[in-house]
Every structure is written in structure tokens, then in C-alpha cells.
Amino acid sequence: MSRLRYWFDWLFKDLYERKGKYVIAEVPNLPLGIFMISIIVSVAVFPGAVQKTAVVIAYLSMAWWGWLEWRGGRSRFRKLLGILGILSAVGACVLGLGF
């Protein structure tokens, strides 16, 4: 059980404060809000220029959010989410999803 506790602490504890707080979720910030709105717009409109623009904005905002989380995340879990956000945005662009 102590090994599980060690890995849980390693993944979720705050890296910057020594109070031992756990950081799992934070309030969505601007890039994540832009991503959510642009995904809704891309699904709600008919295929065309507006949809493609919304998808590009979604990719860029997800990469932006991932960068911010990776560089400024308060726990290793948040940093890992940032890396996954960047990889998903780049992968979706390379695969051409949404077009």
C-alpha cells in the first residue's frame, strides 16, 4: 500500500508549495474555453469555411492550453495532461481530423 501511496503522491502533489496539497483539477482557463466553444461551433455549422476555421482554432487553442499546462502545471498530472493535449492537437492536425 505504501508503494501505491508513493506513486499517488508523486503524481498529484503540488510541486511548488511544500504544504502537501493535491492538485487534480483547476478552473478552465482561456485557451480551454476557446477550444470548447470552437468545437461546439465546428459541430453546429454546416461544412465549409466557418467549420474549417473553427477546427483550426480548436487545434491551436488545444496546443496553447497544452503548452501552458506543460510549462506551468502545479503537479506532474497536470504536466502530463499538457503533453497529451499538445500531442493530441498535433496528431489531429497531421491526420487531418475535422476537415
| 35-62 confidence digits (pLDDT tens) | 999 999 999 998 899 999 999 999 999 9
CB 73 within 8 A of CB 82: yes
Cβ atoms within 10 Å of 75's Cβ, excluding its own: 20
Averaged pLDDT of the chain: 88
Half-sphere exposure of 38 (CA within 13 A, CB side): 20
Q: What pLDDT is recorded for position 16?
A: 81
Q: What pLDDT is recorded for position 36?
A: 94
pTM (whole model) above 0.95: no
Q: What type of residue is 88?
A: S
* Mean pLDDT to the nearest integer, 15-40: 84
